A and B are shown apart, each in its own frame.
Chain A
Amino acid sequence: MVKKIYLHLIFLSFFLIKEAFAAESGGMPQLNPEFWVSQIFWLVLTFGIMYLVLSKLILPKISNNLESRKSQILENIEAAEKQREDSETKLKEYDQIILKSKTEANSMFNQAREKAIKDINAKRDVLDKQIDEEISKAEEEIQALRNNAPDKINKIAIDTSSELLQKLIGAEVNNSSISAIVDDLSRRNGDKYYGN
């Protein structure tokens, strides 16, 4: 009963609103309840269908697309990162190889140099020895020559003097007396001739 009265009141108020606005040259068409039910019906129908299609078919697809793009971008970034790391390790390897070859080349160079120095030293030693030997030999020879020289000279002097005397005087002179004189002279003047 109360409900019925309420409904009557609502309808009455609608009617009054409609009448009031109708008086003012048409009023607000929004407050005309003629098509309210129709509008509600079509709103529920269109919005409901749109909501169902969007929520069941379209929005999951868009979300899926976004997710897959995100994951793909992440994958690509990861792959790029990995490749960068790879290239870095390769660069390090390359650097190491270069360093190794450099040290190798250095050591080879050093070895070659040492070998060459050794060879040179050895050859020089041999040459030095030869030269020393030759020098000592020559010195010995010189010494020998020098040692023999005064005797020979004395002898030559004695012989020449005795021959000279023989030719001048025509008589045999005693060799021993001549040699005594030559010895004496050579002893006195030896310093002048040999520089001893």
Chain B
Amino acid sequence: MAANPMSQFDVYRIGPEIKVGAFDISFTNASLFMIISTVSILLIFNLGSKKNSILPNKIQLLAELSYTFVSKMISDTAGSKAKPYFAFIFSLFMFVLFCNMFGMIPYTFTVTSHIIVTFVLAAFIFIGVTVIGFIKHGFGYLKLFVPSGVPAVLLPLIVVIEIISYLSRPISLSVRLFANMMAGHTMMKVFGGFVISLGIVGGWLPLSFSVALTGLEILVAFLQAYVFAILTCIYLNDALNLHH
């Protein structure tokens, strides 16, 4: 198991096989870590919002700082119109962040290192943003694909490029997070494998790399959650405030 750096991404059943019709919805290690992440988010934010003291304690401060951080991020990128979607973006950011961070603990499973999870999130965002755009602007939302100030000759080409870039949003969004998580964890596993294979004599160098990589990966875990949330805000901004 330790020899293969990809085996950390294995999904395996915990408990019995559960089938609904043709679909297998068994409880797996991925489900376990989704539940751990969501429960810890709910626990922390519940504790952080329970008491309302003028001088907040540590957990209240944490909850309120996260709240203002996400709130500021949304208002900076998508303006005040995006306020109804605050709860969703907050949940998204926290979910991705906690899944990433739990993945940093040894022997855990990283939920966001699976393309299907990130793709479902990204597809939901893509569809939701598109629906919001059409509800807000009707067919005027299609003007998104026609940038202003482009010469008429180039227009067909630009429109095609814009449509392709719009349609590739869910793919780029999901692959960015998934690939970052997978690459980081694989690299850490590879360096960890070097520590074992080089032994007590030569293992120190990959060990120090591993330590540095852990720091880097924690940064990446935060950064990717931030990027995921802020790109969602930018897409939302396109749908809410049609700038073209």
Residues of A bordering B, CB below 8 Å: 25-32, 34-44, 46-47, 49-51, 53-55, 57-59, 61-66, 68-69, 72-73
Contacts and interface: CB of A to CB of B under 8 A. Distances in A.
Contact of B88 (A36, A55, A64): A55
A66 B72 CA distance: 14
Given A29-B9, A30-B113, A35-B28, A54 B64 contact: no
B90 A54 contact: yes
Contacts of A34: 11, 24
Interface stretch (B31-39, B134-142, B187-195, B210-218): B31-39
Given A30-B115, A36-B116, A39-B31, A59 B26 contact: no
B68 interface: yes
A43 B6 contact: no
Contacts of B64: 62, 65-66
A30 B9 contact: yes
B95 interface: yes
A80 to B, nearest CB: 15
Interface string B47-72: 01110101000001001100110000
Interface size grouping (class) on chain B: 35 or more
Interface in B94-126: 94-95, 111, 113-117, 120-121
B77 interface: no
A51 B23 contact: no
Contacts of B60: 65
Given A46-B35, A65-B64, 14 more contacts: A30-B178, A32-B11, A35-B11, A35-B30, A37-B23, A38-B11, A38-B24, A39-B114, A46-B31, A47-B38, A57-B46, A59-B86, A72-B54, A73-B54
Contacts of A25: 4
Given A43-B117, A47-B95, A51-B88, A58 B28 contact: no
A43 B23 CA distance: 15
Closest 4 CB pairs of A and B: A55-B87, A42-B31, A61-B49, A50-B38
B34 A58 contact: no
Contact of B24 (A27, A37, A55): A37
A47 B91 contact: yes
B91 A51 contact: yes
Contact of B45 (A36, A46, A54, A64): A54
Contacts of A51: 87-88, 91
B42 A53 contact: yes
B122 to A, nearest CB: 12
B25 interface: yes
B49 A27 contact: no
A55 B91 contact: yes
Contacts of A59: 45, 67, 86-87, 90
21 contacts: A29-B7, A30-B178, A31-B115, A38-B26, A39-B11, A40-B117, A42-B30, A42-B31, A49-B38, A53-B42, A54-B41, A54-B45, A54-B94, A55-B87, A58-B42, A58-B46, A59-B67, A61-B49, A62-B63, A63-B67, A65-B52
